[in-house]
Amino acid sequence: MMKKAWPTTVAAGQLLCFDDEIILAIDSQPTSYPLDPTTAVFLTYQGFKGEPLAPRTRASGTDNFIQINDGPTYQFAVLTEQAQQTLRTELHHWYLRRVKVKEHRRDGPTFLLYRDLSYEQIQEYKREFGVSLYG
């Protein structure tokens, strides 16, 4: 059975997300990580290309970084708002699979890439995913 992949451009490679694993292929050398509590993902997200960050400041779409477990940190591009939503969907899936996800933006921690969540929203995410604050 063919698995459905979610490709995202990474410096010199691809990040492929499947139901039960993440494959990071850098220079055609794939490394597989299970989507379970043994995997830790650290995500620094600036925004999609053109996203307003502050008055007169927009995201380049390329100042986004991912590190899996204790591996190297890779830069990746999110060029559209639709690509950002796809990333949110993947993060949701990872949280449900109990992957240890820590994500933040320049101005602080995020949850599913959302900034400035209310106390109630944070508590709802914690209940839904069974996690402590931000991973």
Q: What is the CATH number of the domain that holds 77?
A: 2.30.29
Residue with the bigger pLDDT between 117 and 132: it is 117
Domain total of the chain: 1
Residue 29 binned pLDDT confidence (cut-offs 50, 70, 90) = confident
Q: What is the pTM of this model?
A: 0.82
- Whether 88 maps to a domain, the answer reads yes
Using CB atoms within 10 Å of the CB of residue 4, give its burial: 0 to 12 exposed, 13 to 18 middle, 19+ buried.
exposed
Q: How many helices (H) and strands (E) does the chain have?
A: 2, 11
Dihedral sign for Cα atoms in the order 107, 110, 114, 120? negative
pLDDT of 26:
82
Q: What is the pLDDT of residue 115?
A: 82
pLDDT digits (tens, 9 = 90+) for 57-108: 999 998 899 999 998 888 888 999 999 999 999 999 999 999 999 998 877 8
Q: Which of 85, 64, 83, 61 is nearest to 73 (CA)?
A: 64
Q: Looking at the predicted structure, is the pLDDT value of residue 3 above 60? A: no
Mean pLDDT of the chain: 84
17: in domain: yes
Residue 50 located in a structural domain: yes
Tell me, what's the pLDDT at 95?
A: 92
Q: Report yes or no on 107 lying in a domain.
A: yes
Side-chain-side CA neighbours of 63 within 13 Å: the count stands at: 12
Rg (CA), the chain: 15
Banded pLDDT at 2 (limits 50, 70, 90): very low
Q: Which domain holds residue 72?
A: 9-129
Has residue 34 been placed in a domain? yes
Is beta strand 13-17 parallel, antiparallel or unpaired with respect to 100-105?
unpaired
Instruction: Determine the Cα–Cα distance for residues 107 and 99; give it in Å rounded to an integer.
Output: 23
Asked if 36 and 97 touch (Cβ cutoff 8 Å), the reply is: yes
**pLDDT at residue number 83:** 92
On whether residue 134 sits in a domain, the answer given is no
